């Protein structure tokens, strides 16, 4: 037994297929763009931490100057909301003193909105001194 003619007719099915495939493709493109944005934010925050660590490690600067430099770079690139939790300290690794900059910031999940403190980045730089040791 064959189905009725109106059920065998595929008239108008291309519109439904277009909507379904278009929605899936749009979701895929937006997901890839969001992932790219999250990677961009991570790279900006890491580069700012590296710059802050190198700046704080100079012989004529203080640790607070490195934190301020890190906050300034992050604020210029992605916004001041991403530069709220910056800590700078000294550490001794492999027999050499170094400056450590840690940044805890939001991991963007949907545009700029995301998981607070979902990303932590750390950078180190060897301490410079005027001594000849």
| Residue 131 domain flag | no
Query: Which range of residues forms the domain containing residue 17?
Result: 12-126
Q: What is the DSSP string of 111-132?
A: TTEEEEEEEEEEEEEEPP-SS-
pLDDT at 65: 93
How do residues 42-62 score in pLDDT, each as one tens digit?
999 999 999 999 999 998 889
100 domain-assigned: yes
Structure confidence by residue, pLDDT tens digits, 94-107: 788 999 999 999 99
**Residue 101 forms part of a structural domain:** yes
Cβ partners under 8 Å of residue 63, min gap 6: 56, 88, 89, 90, 99
Burial bucket for residue 93 (CB in 10 Å: 0-12, 13-18, 19+): exposed
The whole-model pTM stands at 0.79
Any domain includes 1: no
């Amino acid at each position: 037994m064959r189905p009725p003619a109106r059920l065998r007719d595929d008239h108008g099915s291309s519109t439904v297929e277009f909507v379904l495939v278009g929605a899936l493709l749009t979701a895929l493109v937006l997901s890839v763009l969001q992932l790219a944005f999250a990677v961009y934010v991570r790279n900006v925050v890491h580069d700012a931490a590296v710059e802050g660590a190198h700046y704080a490690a100079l012989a004529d600067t203080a640790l607070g100057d490195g934190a301020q430099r890190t906050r300034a770079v992050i604020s210029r690139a992605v916004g001041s909301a991403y530069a709220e939790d910056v800590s700078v300290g000294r550490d001794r690794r492999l027999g050499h003193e170094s400056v450590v900059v840690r940044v805890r910031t939001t991991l963007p999940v949907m545009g700029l909105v995301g998981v607070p403190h979902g990303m932590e980045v750390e950078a180190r730089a060897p301490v410079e001194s005027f001594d000849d040791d």
